[in-house]
Structure 1
Amino acid sequence: MIFEMCNRFQLLRKTASVSTPENVFATFDSSYIDDSVLLKYDELKSCLLQVVDIFRNSEIDTTLVMQLLVHSQGLAEDIVTCETNKFYTEVMYQTVHQLEWQQRTLMEMAYKDQALRSTSGVNSIREHSTSLDSEKTARRRVIEATRYVPSAGGLETVAGLAETKKLLHEAVFLPLKFPRLFTGGLKPCTRILLYGPPGTGKTKLVNAFSVELNVPLYSVTSADLLSTWVGETEKLIRELFEYTRDQAECSVIFIDEVDSICRQRTSREQDLTRRMKTELLTQMDKCDKQIFLMCATNCPWDIDSAFLRRFQRRIYVPLPKEKDRMEIFCIHTSGTSLSLSDNDWKMLLEKTDGYSGCDLVNLISSALLEPMRDMVKATHWVTTHTGQIKPCASNCPGAVQSSLCDLPADQVVARDVTLADFLTAMRNTHRTISSDDLSKFESFTAKYGQCG
């Protein structure tokens, strides 16, 4: 029984040297014992003793038993977040699951056992079960809504990041494509963390990768988990993993801004936060070949060490290098008339060192608008040999004075984009990543990650 197990380990926590009947331990170091943890063990034991006493009576108060089991589960989850001994933590994980099983069993008994205290008690449990089913259905609807529907191509639409793509290919693509190769000691990496400055393409990379893999992708943010189901975050997390685990094919779960839900644990954090973290840790441990968990963060140093340890690959997604920046320029200026020499491109690439992919996209958008701004201000126009109308200087041969609004919309064209347009745009579109931020990422990568 859970009571017996809890009693045994509560005694273990109080004893400096213990030997169990199963010889699990030879010695036990009590130098680090936390009194607050001992109190939780005591309270958990007390709750389970009450459950035992209730079942010894001829009349069973089902409602009270349910309340005690729910409270006991909460205590066991709290102990998991506080306990520092790995063995005891695992025991408490098992305790949590056994308490969940007992709650389900109790509800089933309410339907089958006619010797329960009263019909009203059975009806109450039936209503409670119906309510739980409806909540579960609602949560599954939320999960189904997070399934990513590709609206773009695969990895070819993501500029640069060749090394990051290579690492993801090894960690995710190969295990899914050739599962028989990953046997014995060769295990697939089912938990991957992508980290790096904002705007480097972490989310876009995961979305594009799901297209390449041709597997379902359930993309959620911390806001989806924290605000959609206030007070039931841990249930939604559990349901998310169980739902994808029940699917016939492999699935990818992507949690963006994961640092918001797995920050470093403190003694002052709320009970809801502790339960949420406990549930996510539990589900991460259960990830297998059926589920690939991919997470992204801009602040990897804020993640609790217990979570960080569970990510088998921690991949740094850096700022685009010169070659990558050139590729971004080519992709986002495709279909636009440019007038830049090789030296112009060289200067532009040098001046955009330190820009993120998102910074570059904003810069390009602003630069491409410069010819449009000139057209709005233009007062003189000339008609080309192809019948197109372009803005020109007032002394240009054949110039006609007019405003943009008075010209036929299907004949007006903008001038080519030049280096000057990009330099003008740079005065208002700056890099958003500081040198200090980059130093923090480099320091973190040296300790915990690998560069993509």
Structure 2
Amino acid sequence: MSFKCVGVDNEGILVLGATNIPWVLDSAIRRRFEKRIYIPLPEAHARTDMFKLHLGNTAHSLTDADFRDLGKKTNGYSGADISVIVRDALMQPVRKVQSATHFKKVRAKSPLNPNEICDDMLTPCSPGDPNALEMTWVDVPGDKLLEPIVGASDMQRSLANTKPTVNDQDLEKLKKFTEDFGQEG
């Protein structure tokens, strides 16, 4: 959510400014920008796309339904808030590896040669897993570590620990500023 301020001079140069606190702009600055446009917080479909965008090419097990669910659950979150959630979720597999007390051997692509399949890659597991080997991540050879991929539970855990940074008071101030000086986007 932000305000975009647009001004054009006689040379054809476009000046664009953005702020989340437009009410602190003095009248001289407001006069120099011909348009003041309110850009609201993203809607559910945009938030859904933002989760996908922030994950990029990172391996994950999220489905389209998972992404839609995240989009619905993040009403009131800004694009920056969603970025924080995704960055935190990307760290969840690292945390799993670091806190694991047991690993198990799995069949997976070699990290050194993606064309080679290894039967002895090690990934974190619960102590109750029938193939569990008691060890910590420091005991696992670097070329044998298979880090878990990011999943829906990682995103949900990060979402539960991340609150939106925009509050109702800020939204009311923006609404009032738009009524007094701005335009809807």
AA aligned opposite 2:55: T
Aligned to 2:102: 380
Query: Is residue 2:73 matched to residue 1:351?
Result: yes
> Structure 1 residues 376, 314: CA separation in 2 closer, same or farther (over 3 Å shift)?
same
CA distances 1:398-438 after superposition (whole Å, capped 9, x unpaired): 33222101212133122232332222223331101001211
Distance of 1:338 and 1:446 partners within structure 2: 43
Q: Which one-letter code corresponds to 1:382 in the other structure?
A: K
Matched, 1:450 2:183: yes
Within the candidate set 97, 122, 127, 1:389 is matched to 122
Shift of 1:290: 4.6
Q: Which ranges in structure 2 are unaligned for 5 or more consecutive residues?
A: 109-117
Instruction: Give the number of the structure with larger relative contact order, counting CA–CA contacts within 8 Å between residues 6 or more apart.
Output: 2
Q: Aligned runs of 1:393-404 on 2, under 5 Å?
A: 393-404=126-137
The corresponding residue for 1:361 is: 83
Q: Which 4+ residue blocks in structure 1 deviate beyond 6 angstroms?
A: none
Q: Could you tell me how far 1:342 is from its partner in structure 2?
A: 4.5
- Distance in 2 between residues matched to 1:340 and 1:293, nearest whole Å: 40
User: Which of 330, 347, 353 is the aligned partner of 2:52?
Assistant: 330
**1:149-228 alignment runs, 5 A limit:** 194=4
Instruction: Choose 300-309 or 341-350, whichever is displaced more.
Output: 341-350
Name the amino acid aligned to 2:4. Answer: L
Tell me the equivalent position of 1:318.
40
5+ long unaligned stretches in structure 1: 1-160, 165-192, 196-253, 255-283
Structure with greater proportional helix content: 1
Which of 61, 79, 95 is the equivalent residue of 1:339? 61
- Structure having the higher Rg: 1
Residues 355-385 of structure 1 deviation map (CA, whole Å, 9 limit, x = unaligned): 1111111111112211211111112212222
Map of 1:44 onto structure 2: none
Q: Contact 2:4–2:17 at 8 Å: present in 1 too?
A: yes
CA distance in structure 1 between the partners assigned to 2:25 and 2:89 by the alignment: 38
Given the alignment, which residue of 426, 430, 433 partners 2:163? 430
The secondary structure found in structure 2 opposite 1:367 is helix
Instruction: For 2:141 and 2:161, locate their aligned partners in 1 and report how far apart those are by CA, in whole Å.
Output: 32
Q: Distance in 1 between matches of 2:26 and 2:40?
A: 22
Residue 341 of structure 1, CA deviation = 4.1
Aligned mates of 1:417, 1:298 — CA distance in 2: 32
Q: Aligned equivalents of 1:301 and 1:395: distance in 2?
A: 58
Equivalent position SS for 2:107 = coil
Equivalent pairs, count: 174
1:235-291 Cα deviation digits (max 9, x unpaired): xxxxxxxxxxxxxxxxxxx9xxxxxxxxxxxxxxxxxxxxxxxxxxxxx89x32253
TM-score, normalised to structure 2, is 0.80
Paired-residue identity, %: 35
Q: CA deviation at 1:354?
A: 0.7
